[in-house]
């Protein structure tokens, strides 16, 4: 791995231009597969295909599963059918399914036609599950033993399945109908005596998930029960496959990226930033920006409606940015805390009243702190006592309202099975701006007796 840091991309390109395949192959012997994938993502399409074809088949499949979808498509289109078939057969079924989801339909059909009948049926079975379901994520390559087998018989079966199984860290126990009965860590098999039976060493309290459950539930189960592997069953408890921790990490990374994008008012971008085109990023951003622009007209209309009050007491205009900015910041803080609490299972709609009570108190404390500060600022430097009261009380009211709005809207959206991250900071700030201005101007009219 020392070579990865020392050998820079220009040197790799120089070896490609010189057709120095021997030295390139020697270089890659010292590289890990994710590092080679990073290199392929950074090269242009022609060079990435050349470099990829230098890899032996067993390493090529590991690298291929790590590269970006666009680069996967380029490689698929560039290699011969036999080479493509061998590559796909080397991939685990769950990785193969991920690729099918990303590439165009005609390429998926081409690959399916190249696969042997059993592999094709397996791939079509995984593709038959709903998108974002655990069924798309699982692999059927696991090890299962019967509960009535003795340990020696079970060990022999594990040795036979070792080459095709994705992992043997956990061995599952099934009955004659293939219903999941329990699991056994491989270390128990190593330590168990030959005369013992599988049933005597298995753990019957086995956590599982159904193939139609959402992938996020698999993430939650693995985190809650501290698992590296999760068995997948059907509605009758029949063992169908397993989900491994590497797949869950990928899902978690995708979900975090998606939430970041939504919070920033961007339609989620499936590709990495480096691989995404300018046009794609424009399309993902412009829709929300247009919506926020139109929403911003509401704040402009409110200011226009109260223009007489602003003309009467011009100093009121000076504090508009401070008030709506503080309200937006407060709402963003509370929504971030609540969205995270929902994500980790700490909050749901049943606890909405607890949230209201807590956030009202916090909002009042924050509002009074900021309100007193703003009152002193306006009283001593601009406007006098009455204007100071308007500014200070408005700040308290706006902060309390913004805090409540930012905390309750994510819970409400979650109840209706919508992603609470949709209440993004820009969208929430726009709502707070409009309502905060109404609070400000109506308080001003009441206290200052404005027409």
Q: Given a cut of 50, is residue 5 above it in pLDDT?
A: no
Instruction: Please check whether residue 113 lies inside any domain of the structure.
Output: yes
Give the model's confidence band at 182: pLDDT under 50 very low, under 70 low, under 90 confident, else very high.
very high
Which of residues 164 and 407 earns the better pLDDT score? 407
159 and 115 housed in the same domain = no
Q: Given a cut of 70, is residue 57 above it in pLDDT?
A: yes
Instruction: Please check whether residue 270 lies inside any domain of the structure.
Output: no
Cα 240 to the chain's mean position, in Å? Answer: 25
Q: How far apart, in Å, are the Cα atoms of 29 and each of 15, 22, 59, 75?
A: 15, 11, 10, 21
For residue 245, give the CATH number of its domain: 3.10.580.10
The phi and psi torsions of 237 (rounded to 5 degrees) equal 85, 10
Mean pLDDT of 362-382: 88
Residues 6+ apart with CB under 8 A from 280: 269, 271
Residues 6+ apart with CB under 8 A from 355: 338, 347, 407, 408, 411
The whole-number pLDDT of residue 247 equals: 83
353 and 425 housed in the same domain = yes
Residue 190: is it exposed, middle or buried by C-beta count within 10 angstroms (0-12/13-18/19+)? exposed
Of the chain, the percentage scoring pLDDT greater than 70 comes to: 92
For residue 73, give the CATH number of its domain: 1.25.60.10
The whole-number pLDDT of residue 1 equals: 43
Instruction: Please check whether residue 271 lies inside any domain of the structure.
Output: no
Mean pLDDT of 263-269: 65
Instruction: Please check whether residue 266 lies inside any domain of the structure.
Output: no
Give the residue among 212, 283, 198, 261 at the shortest CA–CA distance from 241.
212
Q: Given a cut of 50, is residue 322 above it in pLDDT?
A: yes
Instruction: Please check whether residue 43 lies inside any domain of the structure.
Output: yes
The whole-number pLDDT of residue 278 equals: 82
64 and 204 housed in the same domain = no
369 and 414 housed in the same domain = yes
Which of residues 133 and 294 earns the better pLDDT score? 133
291 and 435 housed in the same domain = yes
Q: What is the pTM of this model?
A: 0.59
Give the model's confidence band at 418: pLDDT under 50 very low, under 70 low, under 90 confident, else very high.
confident
Instruction: Please check whether residue 272 lies inside any domain of the structure.
Output: no
Which of residues 165 and 374 earns the better pLDDT score? 374
225 and 288 housed in the same domain = no
- Domain hosting 92: range is 2-128
Mean pLDDT of 205-209: 91
Instruction: Please check whether residue 273 lies inside any domain of the structure.
Output: no
Range name among 75-84, 270-279, 330-339, 409-418 with the lowest pLDDT average? 270-279
The whole-number pLDDT of residue 120 equals: 80
Q: How do residues 100-144 score in pLDDT, each as one tens digit? A: 877 787 788 788 878 887 888 788 788 888 888 888 888 888 899
Let me know: does 63 contact 33? Beta carbons within 8 Å. yes
């Amino acid at each position: 791995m020392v070579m990865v840091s020392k050998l820079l991309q220009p040197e790799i390109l120089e070896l490609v231009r010189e057709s120095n395949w021997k030295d390139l192959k020697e270089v890659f012997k010292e590289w890990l597969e994710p590092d080679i994938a990073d290199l392929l993502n950074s090269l242009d399409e022609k060079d990435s295909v050349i470099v990829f074809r230098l890899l032996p088949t067993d390493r090529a499949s590991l690298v291929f599963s790590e590269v970006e979808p666009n680069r996967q498509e380029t490689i698929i289109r560039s290699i011969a059918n036999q080479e493509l078939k061998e590559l796909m057969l080397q991939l685990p079924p769950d990785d193969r399914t991920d690729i099918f989801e990303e590439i165009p339909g005609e390429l998926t059909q081409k690959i399916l036609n190249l696969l042997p009948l059993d592999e094709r049926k397996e791939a079509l079975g995984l593709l038959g599950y709903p998108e974002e379901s655990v069924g798309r994520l699982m692999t059927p390559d696991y090890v299962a033993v019967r509960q009535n087998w003795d340990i020696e018989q079970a060990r022999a079966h594990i040795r036979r399945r070792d080459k095709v199984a994705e992992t043997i860290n956990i061995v599952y126990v099934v009955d004659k109908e293939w219903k999941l009965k329990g699991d056994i860590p491989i270390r128990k098999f190593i330590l168990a005596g030959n005369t013992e039976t599988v049933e005597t060493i298995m753990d019957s309290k086995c956590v599982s998930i159904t193939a139609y459950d959402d992938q996020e539930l698999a993430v939650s189960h693995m985190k809650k029960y501290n698992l590296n592997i999760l068995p997948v069953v059907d509605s009758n408890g029949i063992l169908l496959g397993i989900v491994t921790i590497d797949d869950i990490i990928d899902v978690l990374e995708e979900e975090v990226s998606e939430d970041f994008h939504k919070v920033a008012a961007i339609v989620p971008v499936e590709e990495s930033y480096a691989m995404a085109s300018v046009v794609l990023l424009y399309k993902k951003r412009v829709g929300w920006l247009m919506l926020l622009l139109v929403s911003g007209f509401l704040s402009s209309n409110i200011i226009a409606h109260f223009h007489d009050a602003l003309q009467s007491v011009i100093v009121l205009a000076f504090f508009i940015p401070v008030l709506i900015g503080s309200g937006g910041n407060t709402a963003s803080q509370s929504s971030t805390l609540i969205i995270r609490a929902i994500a980790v299972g700490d909050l749901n709609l049943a606890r909405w009243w607890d949230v209201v009570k807590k956030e009202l108190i916090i909002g009042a404390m924050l509002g009074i702190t900021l309100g007193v500060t703003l009152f002193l600022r306006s009283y001593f430097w601009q406007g006098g006592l009455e204007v100071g009261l308007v500014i200070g009380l408005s700040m308290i009211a706006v902060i309390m309202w913004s805090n409540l709005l930012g905390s309750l809207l994510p819970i409400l959206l979650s109840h209706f099975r919508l992603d609470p991250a949709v209440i993004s900071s820009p969208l929430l700030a726009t709502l707070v701006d409009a309502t905060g201005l109404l609070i400000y101007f109506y308080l001003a009219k009441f206290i200052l007796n404005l027409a």
